[in-house]
Amino acid sequence: MTKKERVLKLTVHDEEQELEFELDYLSSLTFEERLKMMREKSREMLKQMIDHGHRRPFEIIKRT
């Protein structure tokens, strides 16, 4: 089964239609596809953090 590529084209900005379109797309994915997408986005965000020098989490510094 092949999935159609869908594109949302609006003449006027409408957040409700955008949200409905996005939810419809996500509901068409299988559980495995959603997990794969989540892992890819996590890797992408980690790479961006490393590129911008934010690899280590914030540390709590105790003042004396």
pLDDT digits (tens, 9 = 90+) for 11-49: 999 999 999 999 999 999 999 999 999 999 999 998 998
Are the C-beta atoms of 46 and 37 separated by less than 8 Å?
no
Question: Distance (Å, rounded) from C-alpha 59 to C-alpha 47?
Answer: 20
**For 7-12, what is the mean pLDDT?**
89
| The overall pTM is greater than 0.95 | no
- Higher-confidence residue: 16 or 55? 16
At residue 2 the predicted structure's pLDDT band, cuts being 50, 70 and 90, is low
- What does the pLDDT read at residue 13? 92
